Structure 1
Amino acid sequence: MTITTAHIPAIVALIAGILILVMPRLLNIVVAVYLICIGLIGMGVLRFFRL
Protein backbone atom coordinates (compact mmCIF):
# COMPACT_ATOMS: atom_id res chain seq x y z
CA MET A 1 0.00 0.00 0.00
CA THR A 2 1.42 3.34 -1.07
CA ILE A 3 0.37 6.54 0.68
CA THR A 4 0.15 9.44 -1.73
CA THR A 5 -0.66 13.08 -1.12
CA ALA A 6 -4.25 12.28 -2.06
CA HIS A 7 -4.52 9.98 0.97
CA ILE A 8 -2.97 12.34 3.52
CA PRO A 9 -6.02 14.62 4.03
CA ALA A 10 -8.25 11.60 4.60
CA ILE A 11 -5.85 10.10 7.13
CA VAL A 12 -5.44 13.43 8.95
CA ALA A 13 -9.22 13.91 9.04
CA LEU A 14 -9.72 10.41 10.44
CA ILE A 15 -7.14 10.92 13.19
CA ALA A 16 -8.57 14.36 14.00
CA GLY A 17 -12.08 12.94 14.29
CA ILE A 18 -10.95 10.20 16.63
CA LEU A 19 -9.03 12.65 18.82
CA ILE A 20 -12.02 14.97 19.05
CA LEU A 21 -14.27 12.09 20.09
CA VAL A 22 -11.82 10.89 22.74
CA MET A 23 -10.78 14.31 24.09
CA PRO A 24 -13.23 17.10 23.15
CA ARG A 25 -11.03 19.76 24.78
CA LEU A 26 -8.45 19.20 22.03
CA LEU A 27 -10.84 20.54 19.41
CA ASN A 28 -9.04 23.87 18.92
CA ILE A 29 -5.63 22.26 18.59
CA VAL A 30 -6.83 19.49 16.30
CA VAL A 31 -8.61 21.93 14.00
CA ALA A 32 -5.57 24.21 13.88
CA VAL A 33 -3.20 21.35 13.03
CA TYR A 34 -5.62 20.02 10.43
CA LEU A 35 -5.92 23.39 8.72
CA ILE A 36 -2.15 23.86 8.71
CA CYS A 37 -1.65 20.40 7.17
CA ILE A 38 -4.27 21.00 4.49
CA GLY A 39 -2.74 24.38 3.72
CA LEU A 40 0.73 22.90 3.34
CA ILE A 41 -0.57 20.12 1.11
CA GLY A 42 -2.50 22.60 -1.00
CA MET A 43 0.56 24.79 -1.48
CA GLY A 44 2.65 21.80 -2.50
CA VAL A 45 5.14 22.24 0.32
CA LEU A 46 5.28 18.52 1.01
CA ARG A 47 6.50 17.84 -2.54
CA PHE A 48 9.55 19.93 -1.70
CA PHE A 49 10.43 17.38 1.00
CA ARG A 50 9.64 14.47 -1.37
CA LEU A 51 6.87 13.07 0.87
Structure 2
Amino acid sequence: MTITAGHLPAIVALIAGILILIMPRLLNYIVAIYLIFVGLVGMGLLKWLHL
Protein backbone atom coordinates (compact mmCIF):
# COMPACT_ATOMS: atom_id res chain seq x y z
CA MET A 1 0.00 0.00 0.00
CA THR A 2 1.41 3.34 -1.03
CA ILE A 3 0.62 6.55 0.81
CA THR A 4 -0.15 9.47 -1.47
CA ALA A 5 -0.70 13.13 -0.64
CA GLY A 6 -4.45 12.45 -0.81
CA HIS A 7 -4.21 9.92 2.02
CA LEU A 8 -2.07 12.07 4.29
CA PRO A 9 -4.85 14.26 5.79
CA ALA A 10 -6.95 11.18 6.54
CA ILE A 11 -4.07 9.43 8.28
CA VAL A 12 -3.20 12.53 10.30
CA ALA A 13 -6.86 12.98 11.29
CA LEU A 14 -7.14 9.34 12.36
CA ILE A 15 -3.99 9.46 14.50
CA ALA A 16 -5.00 12.81 16.03
CA GLY A 17 -8.47 11.50 16.85
CA ILE A 18 -7.08 8.44 18.60
CA LEU A 19 -4.61 10.54 20.59
CA ILE A 20 -7.36 12.95 21.63
CA LEU A 21 -9.51 10.07 22.82
CA ILE A 22 -6.63 8.66 24.87
CA MET A 23 -5.33 11.97 26.20
CA PRO A 24 -7.86 14.83 25.84
CA ARG A 25 -5.34 17.42 27.07
CA LEU A 26 -3.41 16.90 23.81
CA LEU A 27 -6.21 18.58 21.83
CA ASN A 28 -4.68 22.05 22.11
CA TYR A 29 -1.27 20.88 20.94
CA ILE A 30 -2.61 18.75 18.10
CA VAL A 31 -4.77 21.58 16.78
CA ALA A 32 -1.93 24.10 17.10
CA ILE A 33 0.56 21.88 15.28
CA TYR A 34 -1.98 21.12 12.55
CA LEU A 35 -2.78 24.80 12.01
CA ILE A 36 0.90 25.74 11.86
CA PHE A 37 1.59 22.95 9.36
CA VAL A 38 -1.37 23.91 7.16
CA GLY A 39 -0.29 27.55 7.28
CA LEU A 40 3.27 26.71 6.23
CA VAL A 41 2.07 24.50 3.39
CA GLY A 42 -0.42 27.17 2.30
CA MET A 43 2.33 29.79 2.15
CA GLY A 44 4.45 27.43 0.06
CA LEU A 45 7.26 27.18 2.61
CA LEU A 46 7.25 23.39 2.56
CA LYS A 47 7.38 22.78 -1.18
CA TRP A 48 10.58 20.80 -0.70
CA LEU A 49 8.41 18.08 0.89
CA HIS A 50 6.38 17.84 -2.34
CA LEU A 51 3.06 17.78 -0.47
| TM-score normalised per structure 2 | 0.71
User: What are the Cα deviations for residues 1-51 of structure 1, in whole angstroms up to 9, with x where unaligned?
Assistant: 110110000000000000100000111001112223334455562x52356
Q: Tell which has more relative contact order, 1 or 2 (C-alpha 8 A, sep 6+).
A: 1
Moved more, 26-35 or 1-10: 26-35
Corresponding letter in the other structure for 1:26? L
Partner of 1:2: 2
Structure 1: give runs of 5+ residues left out of the alignment: none
Aligned length: 50
Partner of 1:20: 20
| TM-score normalised per structure 1 | 0.71
Any conservation in 2 of the 1:5–1:41 contact (CA below 8 Å)? Answer: no
